[in-house]
Amino acid sequence: MVRQSARQASKTGAATAAAATATATATTATSVSITRIKKTVSAKSNGTGVKKETADVETKVEVKKTNVAKRKAPAPATIKDEDDSEDDSPVKKETAKKPAAKKRKTKVATKGDDNMILAPRTAVTSLKRAMYIGAHVSGAGGVQNSIQNAVNIGANSFALFLKSQRKWSSPPLAADAKTQFHAMLKQHGYDAAQHILPHGSYLVNLAQADKTKADQAYENFIDDLQRCEALGIRLYNFHPGSTGGETMAAATGRIAAQLNRAHKATKSVITVIENMCGSGNVVGSRFEDLRDIIRLVDDKSRVGVCIDTCHAFAAGYDLRSPEAFAETVAKFDEIVGLKYLKAFHLNDSKAPFASHRDLHANIGTGFLGLRAFHSIVNHEAFQDLPMVLETPIDEKGPDGKSVENKQIWADEIKLLESLIGADAGSAEFKAQAVELQAKGAAERAKVQDQVDKKAVKDAKKGTKKAKAAAPKKGGRAKKKDEDEDDEEEEHECGSGSD
Ligand SMILES: [Zn+2]
Ligand SMILES: [Zn+2]
């Protein structure tokens, strides 16, 4: 059975649902409501079933304009466990046990997630632009569960992992899971071909030069594409990979060759390359890398690009002001081509511009700021694309342990929708932007400090390297490799957070 819950939803959003988290100040609020969120944590119990533990987390929600929306959670399909990909959030997942429930016990049919509607879905037709905003939800216990998880946060698009993203082998897609996925899609009116964007495994590197490892990567990749086709999903997002120390041209060539092979082995799925932010060996941080892969793909209708806003910004593509946004979009169009743009990952950045650090921040709280997202959700050409949040939702519980608060995604979706057609010059918008910036100030200062310290360290290392490399034969090449390894580690993209 599913619990029903009335939820506060800020429709027009000026009030910034995203700001309405536990730490928001009460200065601008005109109404206050206390929302109780029931968290359900699942733990395996010896293969015989799932043990549930529940905990109540109190969240203070403050909004200026409040529409109370009541919505019934639909009856869930009977779910069978399909795989064991518990850790399937793009944001690091907390697996610590929660304290016992205070009053109510939750009965849920799905494993890993509760079935509470945290915000109603907005009818996209009611928006001034057809923006399909959602988040990367869990598919733990079977891909079919992702749909209820998307419904719960009011997502009009969503991402998921089709299998465990940190294991090389997973059980095949269960027939039941497929049937239920299609039934749930129909029930909730999601268009799998348009607005569902699975994320590939973090293990797969299609640029891999070693034959055995390249074959292993391909097998994992093609298995995911086949799952997409079985589920009616048309878009599949993946990280392009790493050069492994070889040239970028060799790497993009190998990626394209793997894509060509995969396209021939499947019928319809579009392989969507995610832009990256790392430097050194990371492929895809420059638009040119993406262009070079696409150039070598035989069937251009089967390849596309997903722009992760945090990655773009950290890689040196500015989006903060309307002018910078326009310039970056023009650059993308010129180098890659807007026709290849298939999706967005919407994340603010805890790290400063061009820092090559992959640290996702909540919308408006990072170095990008709210204005950047206003530009994106109001851009006509971006309509109908899936726009998926991969923002952090872990919060410290009363016991000091981290708990996931999916209300943050529900609120961020409403916040982004509220920006559509909103006047960015208004006092209200500016106040909202300032308020969100204040929330992220400490975190931004912390990362800025790290980046500054690293710059100093790198400068010193560069001086030492120059001195050391000069007299010794062979020393230079070795040093270079070591430095590249350092770079990759420091700037690693996709380390569980995107
Ligand atoms: Zn990613
Ligand atoms: Zn991403």
Question: What confidence tier does 143 reach under pLDDT thresholds 50, 70, 90?
Answer: very high
pLDDT at 397: 86
Q: Which residue would you say has higher pLDDT here, 47 or 293?
A: 293
Q: How far apart are CA 482 and CA 478, in angstroms?
A: 6
Q: How far apart are CA 405 and CA 308, in angstroms?
A: 22
400 alpha carbon to ligand 1 midpoint, in Å? 29
297 alpha carbon to ligand 2 midpoint, in Å? 22
Q: How far apart are CA 308 and CA 333, in angstroms?
A: 16
For residue 348, give the 3-state DSSP assignment. Answer: strand
Domains and CATH numbers, the chain: 5-450+483-490 (3.20.20.150)
Ligand nearest to the CA of 346: 2
Q: Tell me if 255 sits within 8 A of 295, measured CB to CB.
A: no
Q: How far apart are CA 183 and CA 145, in angstroms?
A: 11
Query: Which residues are known to be catalytic?
Result: 166, 199, 202, 239, 274, 308, 311, 345, 358, 360, 390
265 alpha carbon to ligand 2 midpoint, in Å? 26
Asked if residue 85 has pLDDT above 60, the reply is: no
197 alpha carbon to ligand 2 midpoint, in Å? 11
Average pLDDT estimate for 425-440:
98
Question: What confidence tier does 75 reach under pLDDT thresholds 50, 70, 90?
Answer: very low
pTM for this entry = 0.75
pLDDT at 398: 87
Question: What confidence tier does 467 reach under pLDDT thresholds 50, 70, 90?
Answer: low
Ligand nearest to the CA of 204: 1
pLDDT at 107: 35
Please identify which residue in the block is written with the tokens 């797969």. 204
Q: How far apart are CA 46 and CA 36, in angstroms?
A: 31
pLDDT at 470: 53
pLDDT at 200: 98
Asked if residue 289 has pLDDT above 90, the reply is: yes
Please identify which residue in the block is written with the tokens 């380390």. 495
Ligand nearest to the CA of 360: 2
| Percent of all residues in the chain with a pLDDT value above 90, rounded to a whole number | 66
pLDDT at 469: 54
124 alpha carbon to ligand 2 midpoint, in Å? 23
Range in 80-94, 267-281, 388-402 with the lowest mean pLDDT = 80-94
Task: Determine how many CB atoms are found less than 10 A away from the CB of residue 53.
Answer: 16
| Percent of all residues in the chain with a pLDDT value above 70, rounded to a whole number | 70
Average pLDDT estimate for 373-390:
98
Nearest to 387 by CA among 333, 327, 347: 347
Q: How far apart are CA 129 and CA 131, in angstroms?
A: 6
Average pLDDT estimate for 331-354:
98
Over the stretch 222-274, which tens digit does the pLDDT of each residue have? 999 999 999 999 999 999 999 999 999 999 999 999 999 999 999 999 999 99
Asked if residue 118 has pLDDT above 70, the reply is: yes
245 alpha carbon to ligand 2 midpoint, in Å? 23
Q: How far apart are CA 339 and CA 305, in angstroms?
A: 9
Q: Which residue would you say has higher pLDDT here, 29 or 181?
A: 181
* The token pair that represents 437 in the structure block: 């910036």
Q: How far apart are CA 1 and CA 460, in angstroms?
A: 62
DSSP 127: S
Asked if residue 99 has pLDDT above 50, the reply is: no
Beta bridge partners of 464: none
204 alpha carbon to ligand 1 midpoint, in Å? 12
Asked if residue 55 has pLDDT above 60, the reply is: no
Ligand nearest to the CA of 199: 1
Q: What value does the mean pLDDT of the chain take? A: 79
Range in 48-57, 358-367, 465-474 with the lowest mean pLDDT = 48-57
Ligand 2 (ion): residues with CB under 5 Å are 308, 345, 498
341 alpha carbon to ligand 2 midpoint, in Å? 14
